[in-house]
Amino acid sequence: MHKLISIVHMEYKIQIKRFATWGFFFAVTFIALLDNFPSSANMARLEFLTQPSYFIYRIVSLSSLLLFFGLLFLSSNRFSLDQKTGMKSLFMSAPLGKGQYVWGKLLGTFFYIFTLFVLFLLLNTLIYIVFVPTEASMVDYAIPLVKSVVVIGLSASLFVSFCSVALPVLMDIRLFYLLASALFILDATMVGSAKSMPFYLIVSGDLVKLIWQHPDFPFSDAGSIVANLLFLLTCGFLASLLLLCKRGFWRTE
């Protein structure tokens, strides 16, 4: 367990300290504020912007899409990088098992992406609290924030981190980028609806409707919500299991 924790900590530390990580993070935050900042223009076009739950819903369902897919590309190919830098040879020279190595990289990347999502959500909400003209209580902010972190943050972070680390080992990296780009386009072009959304959406699926729903168009399709959640969790864990089963990846398999 100590070896696993050491790899998780090292992987997290390496990625969280990258200049590209924070440059991209603040760029996405700026873009999110342009679209959701409670300016007079945005307040005029977004009738529910004074509702904290709606603001957080927009940050999660729209702005975090760019964050997640950017981090997907930034965190991909981690095993190939270990090969190029000689870190894999160093790991293999130690009494370390394949499972410890793989799960250490997966979990380190998961905590890295989850941390940035939570910081992104909190930073945007803090700016909203300071500038929006509303008398909402802290409970009005806390409930949708907790829902976003637990429901979307954990599941989407697991999907993105596990897929970005495992899939480039299982397929050509160019094919991975092509599939990731196609999924991003599907998410970005999907228009919100009171009807059931496709289950394969990352942050635009029906899970996000647990945060906020249009008062005139209530949504109650629990099956669609569960399908969206199962897709995120299943794909993430399936990618990791396929990597663990891949022969010729560790020592003399």
Q: How far apart are the first and last CA of the chain?
A: 23
Residue 103 and residue 90: Cα distance in Å, rounded? 17
Residue 57: half-sphere exposure toward Cβ, Cα within 13 Å: 20
Give me the number of domains the chain comprises.
1
Decide if 250 is inside a domain. no
Global pTM reads: 0.89
Decide if 253 is inside a domain. no
Q: What would the pLDDT profile of 129-178 be if each residue is shown by its tens digit?
A: 887 766 777 888 889 899 999 989 999 999 999 999 888 888 888 898 99
- Cβ atoms of residues 230 and 175 within 8 Å: no
Residue 224 has pLDDT above 70, yes or no: yes
Helix (H, G, I), strand (E, B) or coil at 228: helix
Which domain, by its residues, includes 27?
2-245
Decide if 204 is inside a domain. yes
- Residue 22 is encoded by which pair of tokens? 């924070």
Can you give the pLDDT at residue 43? 67
Decide if 47 is inside a domain. yes
